[in-house]
Amino acid sequence: MTTTIPQFEYQRVAVGDVHLNVAVGGAGSPVVLLHGFPQTHLMWRHVAADLAREHTVIVPDLRGYGASDKPAEHDRDTYSKRTMAQDVVGLARALGHETFALAGHDRGALVAIRAGLDHPDVVTHLAILDVLPTLDMWDVLHGADAAVAFHLYLMAQPPGLPERMIEASADEFFGFFLDAWGTSPEAIPADVRAEYLRASREAVPSIVADYRASAGIDVEHDMADQAAGRRLTMPVTVVQQDWGSALGYDAAGLWSVWAADLDHRTLDAGHFMAEQSPREVAAQLRALLAR
């Protein structure tokens, strides 16, 4: 890792069976920021620096990504969002924080949702950027419109073929999403893009394992929560592109099933909104923290 968040301190923290790479900056009440695909903690660089004026900001690489450990997928739990959420809770505790606010984007948002459901006494506020809960994500994909999520189906396959296919053209595969999902190419400068591609290229098996879990055990966990009537009890802010209109579903309605105290917003800023509209994202997080 050559690119870092300026004025943030870096360390590797032992959490359970992994060591996580984490950047920490600022002072005040803690906020944990979780990155998405195909990115690393660097996607939060602007928002983290902004929030660090008022908060202790904790920005890890998820297990399997960036400079964090990438354990082999030895069973279905290795990359379940439940396991990854426990990583986040353990990381915050190792840094001295028993409770914290949590924001996640994309894959990190799925981890954040699971953390909120599994650890409601730990997560005080929850922000979700441009994703649906895993169970709903699969339910809204139908017919030809599901082609937008072709990577979900590829990486849901049993171990072997998806890893080999992606490794054969890793930069083209991961670069496709950086190009297709962004609306402002300048938002991800060359050095950051190169870091994303390098980190993803070196983590193909663990990235695929993360996605594979979301086609299996993560769905089972969501179904169990739904059957038991479990909901997110902390204040929740969801900021999304208008995927509901594009794919024909009521996004706010789906979220209201999961969150008792919900503020749902749409933002025309592309998928990589924390890099393309960092001031607006930081403002949404501050508004959430004031609730």
Cross-strand bridge partners of residue 104 = 34, 128
56/290 Cα distance (integer angstroms): 16
- Give the rounded distance of the alpha carbon of 18 from its chain centre: 18
Sheet with 56-60, side-by-side order of all strands = 9-15, 18-26, 56-60, 30-34, 100-105, 123-129, 232-240, 259-266
17 is catalytic: no
| Residue of 106, 136, 222, 225 with catalytic role | 106
**Would you call 124 helix, strand, or coil by DSSP?**
strand
Catalytic residue among 105, 151, 221, 271: 271
Active site residue 106: yes
Q: Assess contact for 77 and 16: CB atoms under 8 A.
A: no
H helices, E strands: number in the chain: 14, 8
Neighbouring CB atoms inside 10 A of 194's CB total 14
**Which among 15, 91, 100, 113 is positioned nearest to 51, based on CA atoms?**
100
Supply the residues annotated as catalytic: 106, 271
